[in-house]
Amino acid sequence: RCGAAPGIGDSHGIRAVGLARRRRRPYGRGMRISDVIRRKGGDVITVRTDASVSELLSLLSEHKIGAVVVSDDGESVHGIVSERDIVRHLHTDGAGLLDAPVGQIMTAEVHTVSPDDSLDDLESMMTERRFRHVPVVGDGKLVAIVSIGDVVKNRIDDLQAERDQLRTYIQS
């Protein structure tokens, strides 16, 4: 689906944009984003819009992650902020940025996906738009975040499983 996700980001100039349906690639197996979430888990680290950038850096370091969903209630998506956002703003704003609120540097127009969306479509979107992290929203609530690393790991696991099946078939 495309457009604002229901109940998400409908105020303060914040917009969550869903994944547009695309033509399926021929090599796809019908994998869904929910399959990736099942493998990796649905834990999501969030940060409030009024938290300082310094607090954000602590979260990124503590959890060894590259991006955090900005949410004041832990369920809705107000924005997303990554290490790259911090670096860009540090370059222009200087060290004073560390005391600024996360809401000042977050990306407010967040592209989201549903657990039922195609993994192939997510791969295309991440590649074309150069996203490394995409929040997953189900029933109007944040349920997970998928990184490009999660997508690549899933693809490698599938290719290895297919290779093993072919070897078994050939040897029998």
Task: Provide mean pLDDT across the span 126-146.
Answer: 94
- 51-74 pLDDT per residue, tens: 999 999 999 999 999 999 999 999
Determine the Cα angle at 63 with ends 56 and 106, to 5°.
Answer: 30
Task: Provide mean pLDDT across the span 118-129.
Answer: 92
- Which stretches of 11-118 are DSSP H helices? 33-40, 53-63, 83-93
Q: Would you say residue 161 has pLDDT above 90?
A: no
Pairing of strands 46-47, 67-70: parallel
Q: Would you say residue 75 has pLDDT above 50?
A: yes
pLDDT reported for residue 17? 57
pLDDT reported for residue 147? 92
Task: Provide mean pLDDT across the span 88-110.
Answer: 94
The model's pTM: 0.77
